[in-house]
Amino acid sequence: MKDVRRIIEGHFASASKFCTLSASIVSAVFALAGCRGPELLPFRPQAGDLVSYVPVSGRVVALTFDDGPNEPYTSQVLDVLDRESVRATFFLVGTNVERSPDTVRRMVQAGHAIGNHSYDHPRFDQISYAARRDEIRRGADAIAAVTGVRPVLFRDPFGIFGPDEESGTNAVGVTASDRRYRGLAGLCRAENQINVGVSVHAYDWHNDPPEVMSEYMLRRVSPGAILLLHDGHDVQLGFNRAVAVKVLEQVLAALKARGYTFVTVPELIARAEAPQAAFDRGVSLLGIGAPDGAVAPGGRLLLRCYWSVPAEAESSALVGFVHLRQRGHMLAQSDNVLSDGSDMWAQVLEVPLVVPDRAAPGACELSVGATWREGTGSARRLAVSSSLSVHRRAVLLPYAVRIAAPSPNTAGTDSSSTLHPPTSTLHLPAPTAAGAGRS
């Protein structure tokens, strides 16, 4: 295990060694049939897996940048990171790498990690299977030509995976070996690359002021999160990212004040611990976060839940539930369909709960679980294992939320503070048809 961690922390380890990480997040072995969930094992992603969040202890996050290098803004980002002694992960576009190789060399020399963001930044739902494969390969080739090492991390353009089925696999140039794999997960598995998603972004493809972007981001940061900013825009040369540089400065200052430290994505994965809960059917709750501060009666409580659902699961039959209780009484609840790993933007579930006016000041309990509906039958709760207390197949967090004394100035407001360290949460908005603004 020490060798594996050394490989990951080296940032540029060979893909073949990287793929020796443990094969499964959750074991399918049950200690008591139907009574306990699967064994809790450390989170160890493989090539082909989507990693949008990493369960860790302590206030640690990974800062990532997409679409570079793009001068002069990438150099401005690097200047800020140097000044703050922060290492980040850059997902580079092959075409841009060929334009600015010296900037890439500077990233490597400064200890930043490098990931592949395709060669030309196309939408993967608008090109063939063979073209998607070539985008991954050519992007990696361009990076390897400059750095001398082939990247083991990939992030797909726009966060759009393209078809999961084998349509397009009979295109010219597709080999019999290619046909063994389906969708982007299969392509990444074949190319020995881990697909890196996003926990928190700043909407920096919009024209909002930097303070608005920073606040949106800071309300959703929690330990183990993978943060996204952009230092470029597709393959456009010199695209203005001055606002993103200001957002970076503000976010770094605010998170450092909260006690956060910053690591690269490989370093974050190396620190991974077990999920917060392991459920039947391969479902895991990687983490859940609640506000550090108290929520006033009548206020909106924003919880962030990271679920991991196998890509082959019938996700429409899976529902995650969150109950907020106080002294045995239900205050609020929310049921949400769980997304599988086929969509990067749906991996984090944001759960807003309205705290009733009748709630008394003091601690509340969160209970979190998952249900499965078999065909037209009734839903049943999935068996679960957790290091936390479990009751009626739900994980209990007894001190996760506190209700404040009523105040005219706080009633009806949103909770916007940071999260407790157990783990984190957030739900990224579903991509629009014009999802071209993203990543």
Q: Could you tell me the residue ranges of all domains in the chain?
A: 2-271, 277-403
Q: Which CATH number fits domain 2-271: 3.20.20.370, 3.40.50.620, 3.90.550.10, 1.10.8.80?
A: 3.20.20.370
Indicate the Cα dihedral angle 256, 260, 264, 267, nearest 10°. Answer: 150
pLDDT, position 175: 54
Confidence of residue 317 (pLDDT cuts 50, 70, 90): confident
Contact 232, 239 (CB under 8 A): yes
* Distance in angstroms (rounded) separating the CA atoms of residues 239 and 104: 17
Confidence of residue 405 (pLDDT cuts 50, 70, 90): confident
In 194-283, the DSSP E strands lie at 194-196, 200-201, 226-230, 261-263, 277-279
Confidence of residue 167 (pLDDT cuts 50, 70, 90): very low
pLDDT, position 29: 36
Q: Which two tokens stand for residue 338?
A: 């769980």
Q: Is the pLDDT of residue 7 over 70?
A: no
* Angular region, 289: left φ>0, alpha ψ -120 to 50, beta rest: beta
Distance of CA 181 to the CA centre of its chain: 23
* Distance in angstroms (rounded) separating the CA atoms of residues 333 and 325: 9
Write the CB contacts of 217 (distance below 8 Å, at least 6 apart in sequence). 200, 201, 202, 227, 247, 251
Confidence of residue 421 (pLDDT cuts 50, 70, 90): very low
Q: Is the pLDDT of residue 141 over 90?
A: yes
pLDDT, position 219: 86
pLDDT, averaged across the chain: 82
Residue scoring higher pLDDT (244 or 290): 244
* Distance in angstroms (rounded) separating the CA atoms of residues 285 and 19: 23
pLDDT, position 176: 52
In 246-393, the DSSP E strands lie at 261-263, 277-279, 284-289, 300-308, 318-326, 329-337, 348-354, 362-373, 379-381, 384-386, 389-391
**Mean pLDDT of the region 166-185:** 56
Write the CB contacts of 38 (distance below 8 Å, at least 6 apart in sequence). 26, 27, 28, 29, 30, 278, 279, 280, 282, 385
Query: If 0-12 CB within 10 Å is exposed, 13-18 middle and 19+ buried, where does residue 391 land?
Result: exposed
pLDDT tens digits for 53-88?
999 989 999 999 999 999 999 999 999 999 999 999
**Mean pLDDT of the region 119-134:** 93
Query: If 0-12 CB within 10 Å is exposed, 13-18 middle and 19+ buried, where does residue 330 land?
Result: exposed
CA distances from 333 to 37, 188, 427 (A): 23, 38, 17
pLDDT tens digits for 22-38?
333 333 333 333 356 78
User: DSSP secondary-structure letter at 42?
Assistant: -
The CATH class for the domain spanning 277-403 reads mainly beta
Rg, Å, the chain Cα set: 22
pLDDT, position 236: 96
CA distances from 185 to 114, 122, 241 (A): 20, 17, 31
pLDDT-wise least confident of 105-114, 161-170, 352-361, 383-392: 161-170
**Mean pLDDT of the region 369-377:** 88
pLDDT tens digits for 186-221?
899 999 999 999 999 998 988 899 999 999 999 889
User: DSSP secondary-structure letter at 414?
Assistant: B
* Distance in angstroms (rounded) separating the CA atoms of residues 309 and 317: 11
Domains 2-271 and 277-403 share a fold: no
Q: How many CB atoms lie within 10 A of CB 58?
A: 11
For 66, phi then psi, to 5°, come to -115, 155
pLDDT, position 433: 32
